[in-house]
Amino acid sequence: MPFRRPQPDARLRLFCFPYSGGGASIYRNWRDALAPDVELCAVQLPGRETRFKEPAATAMADVVEQVAQGIEPLLDRPFALFGHSFGALVSFELAHQLQALGFGPEHLFVSGRQAPQLVYPRPPIHQLGDEAFSDEMRCLNGTPEHVLANAALLSLAIRIVRADYTVCETYRFADGRPLLDCPLTALGGTDDPETTAEDVEGWARQTGGGFEARMIPGDHFFLHAQEPLVLAAISDRLHLTTGS
């Protein structure tokens, strides 16, 4: 499941999860920007890119179970998790599951997503018809124009994005669980209309291992527009984790 360039001497693996509709390729530029002792593992979820023929999961429990099984052979050394938007929720729930199994991450990075205990600000869209759903995709500004303009590509994109939105919009935060043990860094965009600074600060309630919030210039997709700043924030924390 993870797409990686093996580094036998790596001291830590960084598993990265995409936003709704995204694939492992969104992290293709990260490998050379990380420290040599960090092995990048970009997770390819079913239904997209090289796994486009596989059905995309529509429930969080299924996503987490698929990922946990896929990365299990790579949990033989310290690791961290990073996820943006939809991927932030996936990485958060995965961190809980792995911690319960005795494989907790060294660090959790969540990006472009409000804290899970907060009410999602937008009305649900996953049950809309294809035309209305594609209109919402245009408004969200995360789908390339060439995809929106091509009927076949758009149909595929709708299938994937709808599945991811179904996961997010049917997700229910499980209150009362033990807090995460690992440090947690939450990133947000200063101009993201869906995630305020207060929403980002809310992640502090989810860990007993130390918390940091960083606001980065940009809208919801600051992940790409401000990639050097995002990578710097990650590298700062991983530097402390690995002691390099």
> How far is 158 from 128, CA to CA, in rounded Å?
11
> How far is 199 from 197, CA to CA, in rounded Å?
5
95 CA to centre of own chain = 12
> How far is 223 from 231, CA to CA, in rounded Å?
9
Backbone phi and psi for residue 161, each to the nearest 5 degrees, phi listed first: -65, -40
> How far is 120 from 173, CA to CA, in rounded Å?
11
Secondary element (H or E) of residue 107 = strand 107-111
> How far is 75 from 90, CA to CA, in rounded Å?
17
Most distant CA pair in the chain, distance: 51
Catalytic residue positions?
A: 85
* Closest by Cα among 64, 101, 54, 53 to 86: 64
| CA terminus-to-terminus distance, the chain | 28
Pairing type for strands 12-17 and 38-43 reads: parallel
